[in-house]
């Protein structure tokens, strides 16, 4: 049995979340701000978790609790390790 992937990502949900972060200006700027203002010892996976909290809570969560395609940011199917790697790439871009 071979592992199935979705456009190089673990699954559709992970691909979709990454796609929206990388291609929506508000979401990308939010991700960049989380990385820029993170505590020095915060890990990329920790930054992903902070992004999820930011997207799911308060007024933002009321309107942006999911991608434009309806995948919730806190969907358990999203591979948090891969999303941590995405946030690591964002951190490298800022360096």
pLDDT at 3: 64
pLDDT at 1: 45
Report, as an integer, the average pLDDT of 13-38.
Answer: 96
pLDDT at 84: 96
Report, as an integer, the average pLDDT of 61-81.
Answer: 94
pLDDT at 95: 84
- 62 belongs to a structural domain: yes
Return the SS3 of 42: coil
As a whole number, the mean pLDDT across the chain is: 93
User: DSSP code of 16?
Assistant: H
Is the pLDDT score of 26 beyond 90? yes
- 86 belongs to a structural domain: yes
- 37 belongs to a structural domain: yes
The model's pTM is 0.90
Domain extent for 83: 25-94
User: Cβ-count burial of 17 within 10 angstroms (0-12 exposed, 13-18 middle, 19+ buried)?
Assistant: buried
Is the pLDDT score of 12 beyond 60? yes
Number of domains in the chain: 1
Q: Residue written as tokens 């309806």?
A: 70
4 phi and psi angles, rounded to 5 deg = -95, 135
pLDDT at 76: 97
The H or E element that residue 72 is part of is none
From residue 23, alpha-carbon distances to 4, 43, 58, 67 in Å are 24, 23, 23, 11
Is the pLDDT score of 87 beyond 80? yes
- 30 belongs to a structural domain: yes
């Amino acid at each position: 049995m071979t592992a199935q992937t979705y456009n190089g990502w673990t699954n559709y949900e992970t691909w979709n979340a990454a796609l929206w972060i990388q291609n929506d200006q508000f979401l990308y700027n939010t991700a960049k701000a989380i990385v820029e203002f993170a505590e020095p010892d915060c890990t990329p996976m920790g930054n992903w978790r902070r992004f999820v909290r930011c997207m799911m809570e308060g007024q933002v969560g009321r309107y942006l609790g999911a991608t434009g395609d309806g995948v919730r940011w806190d969907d358990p199917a999203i591979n948090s390790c891969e999303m941590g790697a995405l946030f690591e790439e964002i951190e490298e871009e800022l360096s």
